[in-house]
Structure 1
Amino acid sequence: MFKCQGNAISRRGFVAAGALGGLGLSLPQLLSMQQARADLKHYDFIEAKAQSVIHIFLPGGIAQQESFDPKPYSPIEFRGEMKTVKTNTGEVFSESMKEVAGIADKVCVIRSMTHGEAAHERGTHNMFTGYKPSPALIFPSFGSVVSHEYGPRNNLPPYVCIPNQPNEFAGSGYLSSSYGPFALGADPASKNFKVRDLDLYKGADGERFARRQSALEVINQKFGSLTNADNVGAMSTFYDRAYSLLGSEEAKTAFDLDKEDAKMKAAYGENTAGMRMLMARRLVEAGCRLVTLTYGGWDMHSNLTAGMKRSTPPLDHALTQLINDLEQRGMLDSTLVMVTTEFGRTPKINKDAGRDHYPKVFSVMLAGGGIKGGTVYGASNATASEPEFDPVTPEDLATTMYHQLGIVADKELMAPGDRPIEIIDGGKVIKDILA
């Protein structure tokens, strides 16, 4: 029998079941048919542990040795110049993550991430979609898949990027563009920050707005009946969601950092890292399902030590505050915080006192959302040149994230030409990191 709940069974399955059922076939007869077995893929029910995701992406490739996977006993040319700090669980992080080390009992670090893409664009594609790049198909980002599967909540966009869509791979891919991200359009840390397009045009009151909305609906119905083009339907969806935002004071309030008191802003740090993470917390608290934010530039081919000491303190502090804040609000269990990057850095310091691109092994960090705190999963070898054991691929990480959200990762979505494409192909749930 089918085990399905919510999004658990594919549309193809329902279509095939309905068509064959109309021919008078019983379920046992249907399941005995070879093609029906192929179309009616069996999906188990997944209970969602997380209601939202905050995806913190560190563009450029942060060095694992100078963050979550130091090598203090390796020769200096491998371990680098930075010191280490002991975590509250007895593990060791780089001194760059000394505040996160104090809450290590609440986080999980995966030290055995691995893929084969040494170019920024290709590595970024892996970490935003769970797929290797393909010339034949543009894959949807995590946020767009979540938007497709669950839709809006509390009149908030399901998928938001802070401050803007960070790269071309953070979009909707082969899905309708209506599942693309809502971008703030400005940095929350900037002076006089204000999210674009959340207020009525100057001179338009509520009555005038309602008349315009009604007129547009008439035009859209007529125009939409003449074409099935995706961009037409997507634009209609965007308008509908924009109306919801404009008409909901609660939704607009979620984007207003002025609603946070000065003490909370200071706790996060009134800088780029702090304000972006505070905004992310506000958005998931209000109802956004997946928020992506970027911070810093970690492509440190030279002067690595100075670069890390300059860039990591705001990240370390804001990330620690975010996790503590979520816990204090009773939100950590239902919010998955995921810190990723496109790849790691070379095992050996180069001639310019930096490290170069290295996808063979690197680290990511998870917290909340049903993830087991105080966990270090997998390991790199003594020089951080390859996984020592328990390698984790982007497919595995994505499958685990979707699993925590209650999404079956091998469910098939429809690409152009009615091509069924699995959300993730071949990943496995990393069960040892689940609470």
Structure 2
Amino acid sequence: MKMHSLCQGNHLDLRVGQSRREFLYAGLAGGLGLSLPNLLKLEAGLTIADVPKVEAKADAVIHIYLPGGIAHQESWDPKPFASADYRGPLTPVKTKLPGVYFGEHFAKTAAIADKLTIIRSMTHGEAAHERGTHNMFTGYRPSPAIKFPSFGSVVSHELGVKNNLPPYVCVPQAFGGVAGGESMGTGYLSTAYGPFSLGSDPAQSNFAVRDLALPKDVTEQRFNRRRGLLDAVDAHFSSLEKSDALTAMDSFYQAAYGLVSSQKAREAFDLNAETAKLRDEYGRNQAGQRLLLARRLVESGVRLVTVTYGGWDHHSDIKNGFKNNAPNFDVAYARLIQDLDERGMLDRTLVMVSSEFGRTPKINSTNGRDHYPRVFSVALAGGGVKRGMVYGSSDALGGEPDSDPVSPESLAKTMYRLIGINADKRLMAEGSRPIDIVNGGEVIEGILA
């Protein structure tokens, strides 16, 4: 299995012979210590075709992605009455919803199930990690002819910057350690709409976000002087080169300056501003601190935060695999939902937990489960969805959708609708090719509050 560890959200890609851009890099990125993403590949992302506007029920989305393909039987859709070879080695726990069970290591989440909507009938046909990841980050099956943009990039394109914060942030980083993680990128849209990656893990004791602080040898006066120099250079070259690419590049630089110069923006990434008690309640571990930071970011104005956590590709020894991954996630996720609710943010923040697919109904010869896209589960909370609901179902052995099957296209359309984007809108790809934000599927009206 090919894994991608390159964080493509924060690197400048220089090309020989592009003197203006090299000069900008020398005067801005070099002098300030910034490393900004792929500025030389920018192309304008054009919108075409008017479609009816939709009312936003959510101000932001937290997309929690559990890479590897989490087993629905050991998490959101256990089969307590099946035989042991289908039920698996873990004992399901009762939730606050009558007759609804979660996996053994989801006790904290079971206690807040009345705040969740669980979709138990997700289905698609892609059993490879890369292709399944693409489905669940774009709402499209992979195509050899075109690269589709991620949810975050579309949200960035459509909704833009708020409070000088990047619209789309990946915690801890884009692409790193996720097979098919390039699906977290911009696809046919300009790289101006790419993810901002932290560059380090919030669970680390020395956690610091790159690109937010000025280097020690750069004073505020020097910072402002260099900004003035950049403006002068921009004015000169823009008069000579009128292009959408330059406009996009200049806009990106302005966003970068806003991020560095805004105290409020920098404070959004500061976990030390949280009380020690709350950090302990989330958990002083990867799951806890990543989800706590996600809450801080959407609270401050980030439109969509993608959080990746754990490794859930349990072909063998699924019992210990869940023991190693699930307890920290259970604590952190339950505390996130409670925290958002306590702050009055849950109704305006959509929290979505997904994975590329589920696992086979029957335990295999190595006490694990294999890739299985025919039926799996997704958890939603807040942001305009109902509380305390199970939507759809799998059959008695967890092998097929039994009612109300949901495709990645329908999930994507629903997410976009909730954040105020009509997914029937068309965007322009390279070659003047109009592409639907989502092609097919329908909004899942039954889960909307």
Give the TM-score of the pair, scaled to structure 1.
0.89
Counterpart among 277, 293, 299 of residue 279 in structure 1: 293
Match of 2:434, SS? strand
Counterparts in 2 of 1:382 and 1:247: CA distance versus 1, 3 Å: same
Which residue type is aligned with residue 51 of structure 1? D
Counterparts in 2 of 1:358 and 1:228: CA distance versus 1, 3 Å: farther
CA contact (8 A) 1:176 1:230 kept: no
Q: Does 1:139 align with 2:148?
A: yes
CA contact (8 A) 1:177 1:230 kept: no
Q: What is the deviation of 1:338?
A: 0.3
Moved more, 94-103 or 180-189: 94-103
Q: Does 1:66 align with 2:74?
A: yes
Q: Does 1:204 align with 2:222?
A: no
Q: What is the deviation of 1:274?
A: 0.2
Q: What is the deviation of 1:231?
A: 6.0
> Deviations along 1:236-283, whole A, 9 cap, x unmatched?
333211110111101100001111110110010010000000000000
CA distance in 1, matches of 2:165, 2:397: 46
RMSD in angstroms over aligned alpha carbons?
Answer: 1.4
Counterpart among 408, 413, 416 of residue 422 in structure 2: 408
1:96-245 equivalences in 2 (<5 Å): 96-166=105-175, 167-227=181-241, 232-245=246-259
> Deviations along 1:315-368, whole A, 9 cap, x unmatched?
011000000000000000000000000000011111110000000100000000
> Deviations along 1:169-201, whole A, 9 cap, x unmatched?
111110110000111100000121000011112
CA distance in 2, matches of 1:349, 1:156: 45
CA distance in 2, matches of 1:227, 1:402: 36
Which residue type is aligned with residue 237 of structure 1? S
Moved more, 88-97 or 63-72: 88-97
- Number of corresponding residues: 398
1:13-32 equivalences in 2 (<5 Å): 13=49
Aligned residue number for residue 104 of structure 2: 95
Identity %: 59
CA distance in 2, matches of 1:217, 1:243: 12
Which residue type is aligned with residue 80 of structure 2? P
Moved more, 227-236 or 84-93: 227-236
CA contact (8 A) 1:158 1:290 kept: yes
CA contact (8 A) 2:294 2:305 kept: yes
Where structure 2 has 5 or more consecutive residues not aligned to the other structure, the ranges are: 1-45, 176-180
- The structure 1 segments of at least 4 consecutive aligned residues displaced by more than 3 Å after TM superposition are 10-13, 221-235
Aligned residue number for residue 430 of structure 1: 444
Q: What is the deviation of 1:224?
A: 4.2
Q: Does 1:47 align with 2:55?
A: yes
Counterparts in 2 of 1:82 and 1:230: CA distance versus 1, 3 Å: farther
Give the TM-score of the pair, scaled to structure 2.
0.86
Counterparts in 2 of 1:305 and 1:393: CA distance versus 1, 3 Å: same
> Deviations along 1:27-50, whole A, 9 cap, x unmatched?
xxxxxxxxxxxxxx6x33311100
